[in-house]
Chain A
Amino acid sequence: MYFVTPCSSLSFNKPAMDKRKDEQEPVDNPFFFQKVRQEIQATGLDVPVAIRVAKIKKDEDYTRYLAAIVEYSQDAIISKSLDGTIRSWNKGGEKMFGYTAKQAIGRHISLIAPPGYETEEKDILDKINRNEIIENYETIRCKKGGEQFYVSLTVSPLKDQNGAIIGVSKIARDITVRKKFEAALIQANKTLLLQNLEKEKRAAELTIANAELVFQNEEKEQRAAELVIANKELAFQNLEKEKRAAELTIANRELIFQNEEKEKRAAELVIANRDLRISGEQVEEVNRELESFSYSVSHDLRAPLRAIHGYSRMLKENHEVQLVPEAKRLMNTIMYNAKKMGQLIDDLLTFSRIGRKELVKGNLHMESIVTDICRELKDGQGNRAIEFHIGGLLPAYADSTSIRQVWLNLISNAIKYSGLKEKAFIEIGSEIKDDEIIYHIKDNGAGFDMRYANKLFGVFQRLHSDEEFEGTGVGLALVQRIINKHGGRTWAEGEVDKGAIFYFTLKIIPS
């Protein structure tokens, strides 16, 4: 089929015209014209008439041809008037929108606009009126049942021979499937993007991890190098040790021999120990006997002493008139000595008792103990001038009764031996040194010669005569015995006529 010229009441818009240009090509072919001429001549008509007849025939064919293309297009091809009334509706339109041509033609185009898109058709018409072309405009339309779907619209004006717009042609293509693919692609892209980010993060981590591994590798290499050196050293040492082992084998042999000797010796020692334990038990037994002996001796000694003192007194009191002064003096001397012996026995008893007494330790407030004793002793001294300086005594963990005895003896001594001074200064204090508390008492009394300091704490040992200062020589021995029982020490410093300082220590209170 050949088309000579387009001869229709309709002229085509530009893209349509472009298409026509392709089809026009054969018209310009000289061979084509020759062929047409031959056909015309075969009809027997004169050429101008024949051409006109052919032209009319071809126009009709061409129009049918175009209509067929339109009618069977997969796309919906719709034409409408400028007010939006649908004028034509092809098969594609029926299939796509569900309305038959009969149902659609004559209705307004808003028939296929979903809710919210009603004004869109008006906008499209406005654009067409402004001679604009709308190509591949993607939007939503709805089917007969209300189902909405994506379409791509290409809208172009329909013009008459004079170029006036008389209507609108609209081609709608269902792009639902493409849209689905697009959505899937967008989603896939998003996922990929996310994955990329993750991978970048991971890559950054791996970079850090790699750097760490490189560092560790270097460390290990260094360590390996060190180990090589250490191994060499060990190998050398092993050799040394082998030598040493050989020496040790010899030494062991010697030791085995010595061990055997020692075992023999140990067996002998076991026997010796058994003997010692037995003698230890015997010593304890003897000690117990001694304690009991000294107690009963002291107790039994008191009876005759009482008689001596009592009978002397009876003689003195009942026969006073018959006694000459010298006899009275002798009687007094007997009584004084008997009394003195009684005192000695009392002190000895106390000393013996302390040895047997169990210590009951507790927290002692030394300051108040010492203050009380000082007050009591001072009260017994009448008007004597005695000045005490008691400086913040530290508390102790010790046996209350015996520690009181210690302070009583030491303070009594300080008062007694400072008796010849116009005013007695007695200073009592304490300090912590290492793990013990050192208590001291200082006086300004008679003092003593340091050469005899070791005799001070012995039983019945005295550095002064009875005429100078009375006493039995048991007081300081008792002090030492009590302190030793507490695990402490006693010592003294002094100078004749310059006073003395007595010290004793006690362990610091356990926390």
Chain B
Amino acid sequence: MNLDVQLLLVEDNSSDAEMTVNALKKNGLANKLLHLKDGAAALDYIFGEGKYEGRRVEDTPRVILLV
């Protein structure tokens, strides 16, 4: 994943996630958005562990949306 993530969305309900992404896109805010299903995945991402091992942890998202 080389995506330069600026906005991290953590939401287990896919409908809610889709509606959120839709609303963000409409307002031109969803270019660099990553959607994760739960808090554990979010922690792995932030600290470069598990699935995200080797990720540059210095690149932190600007905003994290936790619902």
Contact = CB atoms under 8 A, between A and B. Distances in A.
A306 B22 contact: no
Interface in A303-334: 303-304, 306-307, 310-311, 314, 317-318
Interface string A268-310: 0000000000000000000000000000000000011011001
A494 to B, nearest CB: 44
A314 B16 contact: no
Contacts of A318: 22
Interface string B9-24: 0000101100100100
Most B Cβ at <10 Å: residue of A303, A310, A311: A310
B13 A303 contact: yes
B35 to A, nearest CB: 16
Contacts of A307: 13, 15-16, 19
A116 B29 CA distance: 144
A314 B22 contact: yes
Contacts of B15: 303-304, 306-307, 310-311
B16 to A, nearest CB: 7
Contacts of A303: 13, 15-16
A323 B26 CA distance: 19
Contacts of B16: 303, 306-307, 310
A339 to B, nearest CB: 15
B19 A311 contact: yes
Contacts of A317: 26
A132 to B, nearest CB: 149
Nearest to B15: A307
Nearest to A304: B15
Interface residues on A, range: under 10
Nearest to A303: B13
Nearest to A314: B22
Nearest to A309: B19
Contacts of A306: 15-16, 19
A303 B19 CA distance: 12
A314 B17 CA distance: 13
Nearest to A310: B19
Contacts of B22: 314, 318
B19 A314 contact: yes
Contacts of B19: 306-307, 310-311, 314
Nearest to B25: A318
Contacts of B13: 303, 307
A317 B27 CA distance: 13
Interface in A84-129: none
Interface in B27-62: none
Nearest to B16: A306
Interface string A347-364: 000000000000000000
Contacts of B26: 317
B37 to A, nearest CB: 15
A318 B23 CA distance: 11
A284 to B, nearest CB: 34
Nearest to A318: B22
A454 to B, nearest CB: 42
Contacts of A311: 15, 19
A303 B16 CA distance: 8
A307 B16 CA distance: 7
Contacts of A314: 19, 22
A311 B21 CA distance: 12
Nearest to A306: B16
A311 B16 CA distance: 10
Most A Cβ at <10 Å: residue of B16, B19, B26: B19
B15 to A, nearest CB: 4
A38 to B, nearest CB: 185
Nearest to A308: B15
A309 to B, nearest CB: 9
A314 B13 CA distance: 17
Nearest to B22: A314
A303 B26 CA distance: 22
A304 B19 CA distance: 12
A507 to B, nearest CB: 45
A306 B19 CA distance: 9
Nearest to B19: A310
A306 B16 CA distance: 8
19 contacts: A303-B13, A303-B15, A303-B16, A304-B15, A306-B15, A306-B16, A306-B19, A307-B13, A307-B15, A307-B19, A310-B15, A310-B16, A310-B19, A311-B15, A311-B19, A314-B19, A314-B22, A317-B26, A318-B22
Given A311-B19, A317-B26, 12 more contacts: A303-B13, A303-B16, A304-B15, A306-B15, A306-B19, A307-B15, A307-B16, A307-B19, A310-B15, A311-B15, A314-B22, A318-B22
Interface of B: 13, 15-16, 19, 22, 26
Ranked 9 nearest A-B pairs via Cβ: A307-B15, A310-B19, A314-B22, A303-B13, A306-B16, A314-B19, A310-B15, A303-B16, A311-B15
